[in-house]
Amino acid sequence: MATKKKPSSDQGSSSSALDSSRWEVSCFWERRLQKELMSLMKEPPPGVTVDAEGAGQNLTQWIIQMDGAQGTLYEGEQFQLQFKFSPKYPFDSPEVTFIGPNIPVHPHVYSNGHICLSILTEDWSPALSVQSVCLSIVSMLSSCKEKKRPPDNSFYVKTCNKNPKKTKWWYHDDSV
């Protein structure tokens, strides 16, 4: 298979007179998300696929398909991640939850899809991206040794806010 080169339409340099961005007047977060979407479509990490059409229509909400990695407890499973972005992105972290029929059974994933992962709240950095968040979640799943829900799952699910970012997480366990 021929190697895919970077398409001319998403070359970063605006020194090209034909930079595609000149045709679309958009603001900070839109331009950054467009760039991310492009690179995620062109060079997706293994097992990660973005629903480009949906994201292309509404940049503030993306659905990402994630395959359980081979050789892990989740091999053969498929999950769906939802990313919601605010206009403050990337200075504000995205809201990331598992959705759909299959929520991974994992000590840091609640049955309502909420994920206990510090980079999604207090450890967020604007240098992170959809791709790096996906990779962190893949590796969080991959390093799991026993499929079980968090110990406080039923209490949390009953009492939590719909938005996981409103939860004051207590990141007790860094090893998983």
Partner 1 sequence: MSLKPKRVNFNETWKELQETVKCVITLSNVPRSTWNDRFSDVYSLCVAYPEPLADRLYLETKQFLDNHVKNLLEKVRSNGKANLLKSYYQAWSEYSLGINYLHRLYLYLNQQHIKKQKLSEAEIVYGNLTPDTQEQMEIGELGFEIWKKNMIEPLKENLVNFLLEGIHEDRLGEGNPNTAEIIKGVIQSFVTVEEYKKKENLLLYQKIFETPFLQASGEYYKQEASRLLQVCDVSMYMERVTQRLKEETLRSQKFLHCSSFDKVKEKCEQHMIADHLQFLHGECKPMVQQERKGDLTYMYSLLRSVPQGIPLLINEMLEHIKQQGLQCVTSLKGENIYCQFVESMLTLHKKYKDMINDVFSGDQSFIGALDRACSSVINYRINPKVSSRSPEMLAKYCDFLLKKSAKGMSEAEIDDRLAQSITVFKYIDDKDVFQKFYSRMLAKRLIHQQSQSMDAEEAMINRLKEACGYEFTNKFQRMFNDITVSTDLNNKFSAYLKSETVDLGISFTIYVLQAGAWPLGQTSITPFAVPQELEKSVQMFEKFYHSHFNGRRLTWLHHLCQGELKLGYLKKPYQVTMQTFQMAILLLFEKTDSLNCKEIQDTLQLNTEQFNKHVTSLLESKLLHSSTQDVTPETILKLNLEYSNKRTKFRITAALQRETPQEVEQTLSAVDEDRKLYLQAAIVRIMKSRKMLKHNCLIQEVLSQSKGTFSPSISMIKKCIEALIDKQYIERTPNSADEYSYVA
Partner 2 sequence: MKVTIKSWTGVATWRWVANDDNCGICRMAFDGCCPDCKLPGDDCPLVWGQCSHCFHIHCIMKWLNSQQVNHQCPMCRQDWKFKE
Q: Dihedral (C-alpha) 27, 28, 34, 36: value to the nearest 10 degrees?
A: -170
3-state secondary structure of 133: helix
Residues forming beta bridges with residue 106, ordered by sequence position: 109
Given the rule CB under 8 A, which of 14-22, 54-62, 75-83, 144-152 is the region that contacts partner 2?
14-22
| 95 contributes a contact to partner 2 by CB under 8 A | no
The entry of partner 2, partner 1, none near residue 155 (CB within 5 to 8 angstroms by kind) is none
What's the burial of 175, exposed, middle or buried (CB within 10 Å: 0-12/13-18/19+)? exposed
In the residue annotation, 27 being an active-site residue is answered as no
- Segment 25-84, which members bind partner 1 (CB under 8 A)? 41, 52-53, 56
Is residue 113 within 8 Å of residue 162, measured between CB atoms? no
Exactly one of 77, 92, 136, 176 binds partner 2 (CB under 8 A); that residue is 92
| 84 contributes a contact to partner 2 by CB under 8 A | no
Q: How far is the CB of 120 from partner 1 (least distance, A)?
A: 27
Please state, in angstroms and rounded to a whole number, the distance separating the CA atoms of residues 122 and 59.
24
* Max Cα–Cα distance, the chain, nearest Å: 57
The entry of partner 1, partner 2, none near residue 162 (CB within 5 to 8 angstroms by kind) is none
Q: How far is the CB of 23 from partner 1 (least distance, A)?
A: 8
Nearer to partner 1 by C-beta: 16 or 132? Answer: 16
Q: Helix 130-142 crosses helix 28-42 at what angle (to 10 degrees)? A: 50
Nearer to partner 2 by C-beta: 105 or 128? Answer: 128
Q: Which of 116, 134, 144, 160 is catalytic?
A: 116
Residues belonging to the active site: 116
